[in-house]
């Protein structure tokens, strides 16, 4: 069964998602969710919202997807208890300690592994399954081949993002905002520093733009490939987006998935593409394959960092109007009206491409010829500037007019001497009910007709039901309208309760919350050293030295090991944050040639796979064990030591440890220089700068290339 999963930042978005055909929605409570700036949902009203969704057969997933500190665990479990009592269908979780506490406290609770857990290969999926997750929300960087492998190698449900904003950092695990401004993206407070302009410098060359601002995702034309690979839940990003965005995206993907389910070849139409871009898009095009294929995709839209909408036309005339106002005439292929939003673009200085110049909500719009519209604005626009439509009142009104109903069939039996009977059945088979009323009396004068009984029984008003058919049996009786109305109201109310019972019969029971914080494991005496620093390596005698190579191949790793002092206590290898299936083969081949390496430092959950192969495992800072329970989960999975999360700000017992502020699965060199992989332009020493801050780009290569953003001294 394919599922269309929609984002709900607030009540309006929830209603829109339901109306436009979502199968499930995900939403957050005020705390412990990665979109704390959204409207979100109060505990007090959550039950009513969930009942509303369940009435239409829509599941509700609650996000508890931030990292949690020890002292916050009781509060997060109180929130979970309230959501369990409200009959939430599942919980999306990042923190391994929170997941363990939830499993221990609430029998039968359904957990989905958040995309921020970073599962992107079979090894990571196996660990998620081992921890009791029913579903995994794969990292957006996951390759199509790896999705196939996860489908074949686990029993997990697979959820995948298909539409919306794309975080430039791997799986959303970005520490830039936390380190620079104390506002952690992993705790719901990201400052989106990636959307700011940067300057790149490569061997003296300088390139400017929004060099970390990713294009939005649109995998509408890749749905068949994803279904074939094993994806069953198709997720739309956007809990910070307005209801019009939710409605447009859900409507488009509803049509596509319905066609696929009917065996129809489904592709995005031009009108649907424009409706998505009008709802929200950055730049001229969407990212239409993401990271599904081999190689590093062209992820970045370096010319724009916010909503650009769709091309409407151009400015034809500009005249001063009143003080501070201009009378503007534009040609637009879209009908314009008061309240629409426009964005204006001017030619760049070099004459190539367009840059944002102004934006305006328009008022006093009047038509002045075919495709021509005039209005007053404060924006000092120029003739020849391009005009994009970024908000359409007409499109919003069409979406708000969308309604969803539970389709039912009715059977009315009105026979003399027998109780009036009304049976209601959901066409989707979810529930049925049959109630009886007063004894029917033979008509003295005119009897009620079958048509009148059917018409009266089918008046569902605003109940949410829609009567597809109504069968009537009668034999010349009289039935007062008030009697049939009362029986209809009672029957529909009973059917609604049956629907809730069917939707919620297997939900988690509320258990006893008992948090016992384990003792924190002592940090090992280790030092991290890059292979580019041989002097530092020589100075680390009789300690565990963690080698952090830039290449994971047998020959390169052997060269590094041969340079190490002979009396080092232990040689450890840091595994990369990202490793798809092809990368893992390269890593395993390299390890097979390096018998001296007995210890692995892992920065992603997939690394626990190597514990079963006899390696000593150190859970690195990238595992984000922010609380003691998370550290214990890492120990249970095989870690002999657990390093503090980047989010903790601690570095006890660890010297030289560097975890990238961001890890990229795209190539920053391609972004800056515009080359492709066939004409690789990689050179050591690329830097990015923003204001007075400077960052270093480092490459890690296994089968493919990955890049890290590091603070530069």
User: Would you list the DSSP string of 132-146?
Assistant: T-SEEE--TT--HHH
What integer is the mean pLDDT of 642-652? 78
Q: Which CATH superfamily, name and number, covers 3-166+216-279?
A: Copper homeostasis (CutC) domain (3.20.20.380)
The pLDDT of residue 498 is 96
**Residue 470 confidence (pLDDT) above 70:** yes
The pLDDT of residue 525 is 62
The alpha helices in 28-89, defined as continuous H runs, are 43-55, 73-85
- d(CA 117, CA 172) in angstroms, rounded, equals 9
Beta strand 135-137 with 111-113 is parallel
The pLDDT of residue 526 is 66
Q: What is the pLDDT of residues 397-415, one digit of tens each?
A: 999 999 999 999 999 999 9
Q: Work out the percent of the chain whose per-residue pLDDT is above 70.
A: 95
Split at pLDDT 50, 70, 90, the class of 505 is: confident
The pLDDT of residue 613 is 95
Give the lowest-confidence range in 79-93, 304-318, 426-440, 504-518: 504-518
**Domain locations along the chain:** 3-166+216-279, 310-400, 408-504, 526-711
Q: What is the pLDDT of residues 108-122, one digit of tens each?
A: 999 999 999 999 999
What integer is the mean pLDDT of 192-197? 94
- d(CA 328, CA 350) in angstroms, rounded, equals 26
- d(CA 509, CA 511) in angstroms, rounded, equals 6
What CATH architecture is 310-400? Beta Barrel (2.40)
Work out whether the CA dihedral 521, 525, 528, 531 comes out positive or negative.
negative
Q: Work out the percent of the chain whose per-residue pLDDT is above 90.
A: 75
**Residue 675 confidence (pLDDT) above 70:** yes
Q: Which two tokens stand for residue 5?
A: 């999963």
Q: Which residue has the higher pLDDT, 676 or 314?
A: 314
- d(CA 59, CA 220) in angstroms, rounded, equals 22
Give the lowest-confidence range in 156-165, 487-496, 641-650: 641-650
**CB-side exposure of 72: number of CA atoms within 13 Å?**
17
Split at pLDDT 50, 70, 90, the class of 512 is: low
Q: What is the mean pLDDT of the chain?
A: 92
The pLDDT of residue 137 is 98
Split at pLDDT 50, 70, 90, the class of 654 is: low
Q: What is the pLDDT of residues 256-306, one digit of tens each?
A: 999 999 999 889 999 999 999 999 999 888 999 999 998 888 899 999 999
- d(CA 330, CA 296) in angstroms, rounded, equals 40
Q: Are 47 and 26 in contact (CB under 8 A)?
A: no
What is the distance in angstroms between the CA of the first residue and the CA of the last residue of the chain?
Answer: 52
β strands within 379-446, DSSP E: 386-391, 406-414, 419-426, 432-439, 441-442
Asked if 3-166+216-279 and 526-711 have one fold, the answer is yes
- d(CA 553, CA 616) in angstroms, rounded, equals 20
Residues 6+ apart with CB under 8 A from 481: 456
The pLDDT of residue 42 is 94
What integer is the mean pLDDT of 618-624? 91
Beta strand 233-236 with 372-377 is unpaired
- d(CA 381, CA 60) in angstroms, rounded, equals 46
What integer is the mean pLDDT of 566-590? 92
**Residue 652 confidence (pLDDT) above 60:** no
The pLDDT of residue 477 is 96
The pLDDT of residue 430 is 95
Q: Assess if CATH 3.40.50 describes domain 526-711.
A: no
The pLDDT of residue 155 is 98
**Residue 628 confidence (pLDDT) above 80:** yes
Specify the pTM: 0.95
Nearest CA to 85 out of 32, 47, 42 is that of 47
**Residue 536 confidence (pLDDT) above 70:** no
């Amino acid at each position: 069964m394919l599922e269309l999963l929609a984002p709900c930042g607030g009540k309006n978005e929830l209603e829109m998602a339901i109306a436009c055909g979502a199968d499930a929605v995900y939403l957050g409570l005020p705390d412990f969710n990665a979109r704390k700036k959204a409207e979100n949902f109060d505990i007090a009203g959550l039950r009513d919202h969930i009942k509303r969704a369940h009435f239409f057969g829509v599941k509700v997933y609650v996000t508890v997807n931030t990292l949690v500190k020890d002292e916050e665990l009781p509060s997060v479990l109180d929130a979970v208890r309230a959501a369990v009592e409200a009959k939430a269908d599942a919980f999306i979780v990042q923190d391994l300690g929170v997941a363990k506490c939830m499993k221990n406290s609430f029998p039968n609770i359904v957990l989905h592994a958040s995309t921020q857990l970073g599962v992107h290969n079979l090894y990571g999926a196996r660990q998620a399954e081992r921890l009791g997750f029913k579903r995994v929300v794969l990292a957006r960087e996951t390759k199509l081949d790896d999705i196939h492998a996860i489908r074949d190698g686990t029993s997990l449900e697979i959820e995948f993002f298909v539409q919306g904003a794309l975080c430039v950092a791997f799986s959303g695990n970005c520490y830039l905002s936390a380190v620079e401004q104390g506002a952690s993206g992993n705790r719901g407070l990201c400052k989106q520093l990636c959307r700011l302009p940067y300057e790149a410098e490569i061997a003296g060359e300088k390139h400017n733009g929004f060099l970390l601002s990713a294009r939005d995702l649109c995998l509408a034309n890749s749905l068949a490939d994803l279904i074939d690979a094993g994806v069953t839940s198709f997720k739309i990003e956007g809990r910070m987006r307005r209801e019009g965005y939710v409605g447009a995206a859900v409507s488009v993907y509803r049509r596509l998935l319905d066609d696929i389910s009917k065996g129809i070849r489904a592709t995005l139409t031009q009108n649907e593409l424009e409706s998505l871009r009008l709802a929200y898009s950055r730049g001229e095009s969407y990212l239409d394959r993401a990271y599904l294929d081999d190689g590093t995709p062209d992820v970045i839209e370096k010319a724009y960092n916010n909503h650009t909408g769709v091309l409407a036309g151009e400015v034809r005339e500009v005249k001063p109007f009143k003080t501070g106002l201009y009378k503007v005439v534009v040609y637009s292929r879209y009908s314009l009206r008061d309240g629409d939003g426009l964005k204006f673009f001017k030619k760049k200085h070099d004459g190539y491409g367009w840059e944002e110049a102004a934006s305006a909500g328009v008022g006093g719009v009047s038509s002045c010829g075919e495709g021509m519209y005039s209005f007053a604005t404060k924006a000092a626009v120029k003739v020849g500037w391009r005009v994009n439509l970024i908000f359409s009142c007409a499109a919003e009104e069409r979406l708000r007019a969308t309604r969803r109903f539970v389709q039912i069939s009715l059977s009315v039996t009105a026979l003399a001497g027998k109780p009036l009977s009304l049976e209601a059945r959901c066409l989707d088979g979810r529930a049925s009910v049959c109630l009886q009323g007063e004894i029917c009396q033979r008509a003295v004068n005119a009897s009620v007709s079958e048509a009148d009984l059917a018409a009266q029984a089918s008046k569902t008003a605003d109940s949410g039901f829609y009567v597809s058919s109504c069968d009537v049996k009668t034999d010349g009786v009289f039935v007062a309208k008030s009697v049939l109305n009362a029986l209809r109201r009672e029957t529909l109310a009973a059917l609604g309760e049956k629907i809730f019972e069917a939707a919620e019969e297997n939900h988690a029971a509320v258990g006893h919350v008992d948090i016992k914080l384990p003792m924190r494991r002592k940090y090992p005496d280790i030092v991290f050293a890059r292979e580019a620093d041989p002097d530092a390596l020589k100075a680390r005698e009789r300690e565990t030295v963690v080698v952090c190579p830039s290449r994971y191949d047998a020959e390169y790793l052997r060269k590094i090991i041969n340079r190490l002092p002979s009396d080092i206590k232990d040689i450890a290898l840091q595994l990369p944050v990202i490793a798809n299936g092809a990368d893992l083969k390269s890593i395993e081949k390299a390890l097979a040639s390096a018998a001296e390496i007995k210890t692995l430092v892992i920065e992603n959950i997939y690394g626990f796979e190597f514990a079963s192969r006899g390696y000593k495992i150190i859970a690195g800072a990238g595992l984000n064990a922010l609380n003691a329970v998370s550290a214990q989960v890492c120990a249970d999975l095989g870690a002999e030591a657990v390093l503090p999360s980047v989010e903790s700000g601690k570095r006890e017992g660890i010297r030289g440890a560097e975890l990238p502020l961001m890890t990229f699965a795209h190539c920053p060199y391609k972004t800056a220089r515009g080359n492709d992989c066939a004409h690789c332009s990689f050179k050591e020493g690329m830097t990015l700068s923003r204001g007075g801050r400077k960052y270093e780009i480092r490459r890690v290569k296994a089968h493919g290339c990955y890049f890290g953003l590091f603070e530069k001294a």
